[in-house]
Amino acid sequence: MVIEAAVAISGGLRAGSVSLLAFGLDSLIELVSAGVLVWRLRVELQHGQVFAEEAERVASRIGGGLLFVLAAYVVTAAGWKLCTQTGETVPWSGLVVAALAMPIMYFLAKRKLVVAEALGSRAMRADAMQSITCGWLSLTVVAGLGIEALTGAWWVDAVTSLGIVWLLVREGREAWTGENCC
C-alpha cells in the first residue's frame, strides 16, 4: 500500500491526474483505516466487549469520514480541472500500479468481508469498503487514463474520476451510520 500510494501520488501530481491522485490518496486512507482497525481489535482484546463496541463505532466513523474527505477532494479537483481545462501527460508508472491493484484489491476485499461477517464488525467492513473503493478507483484510473492516452482528450481523467464519487459517498455514509453491516 505504501508503494502504491507513493507511485500513484507522485505520478498524479506530476501529470495533474485527478483520478490517479485520488487513487493514491485512497491508498493512504486504506493505511489509516487499517491502523484504526488494529486499534479497535486491540481495545477488544485488552478491555473486553463493552469497550470494543465504542471503539467499533469510533473506528467505523473514522473510516466513513475518510471516504467523505476523499469524495470532497475528487469533486473539487475534477471541477477545478474541468473549469481550467487543464490536462497533462499520462503517467505510465501510475497506470501500471493501478492495473496491478485491481485483482489484488478484489482478493483483499473479499477476505476482509468474510472476516467482517464473522466478527460482526462495522469497522472491518468499512476497511473492506476501502479496498473495494481502491479497486474501483484503479479501474477508473486505468479506463480514464487509457482513453486519455488514446484520444488526447484532456477532460477524460476529470470526468472518469467523478464517476467514483457516488461509491465514496455511499460507502462513507454506511460506515458512518453503521448501516448494512454484516
Determine the distance from the C-alpha atom of residue 21 to the mean position of all C-alpha atoms in its chain, rounded to a whole number. Answer: 11
Contacts of 68 (CB under 8 A, 6+ apart): 168, 169, 172, 176
C-alpha dihedral sign at 103, 106, 111, 112: positive
C-alpha dihedral sign at 132, 135, 137, 143: negative
- Classify 2-177 by CATH class: mainly alpha
Q: Give the mean pLDDT of the chain.
A: 83
- Residue listed under C-alpha cell 469510533: 58
The domain segmentation of the chain, as residue ranges, is: 2-177
pLDDT given at position 180 = 52
pLDDT given at position 75 = 93
Helical spans, DSSP H, in 48-163? 49-84, 92-119, 122-151, 156-162
How far apart (Å, rounded) are the C-alpha atoms in residues 103 and 178? 27
How far apart (Å, rounded) are the C-alpha atoms in residues 28 and 9? 10
pLDDT given at position 111 = 94
* pLDDT of 179 over the 70 cut: no
Summarize pLDDT for 66-77 with one digit per residue, the tens.
889 989 988 998
Q: Which residue has the higher pLDDT, 111 or 182?
A: 111
How far apart (Å, rounded) are the C-alpha atoms in residues 100 and 86? 27
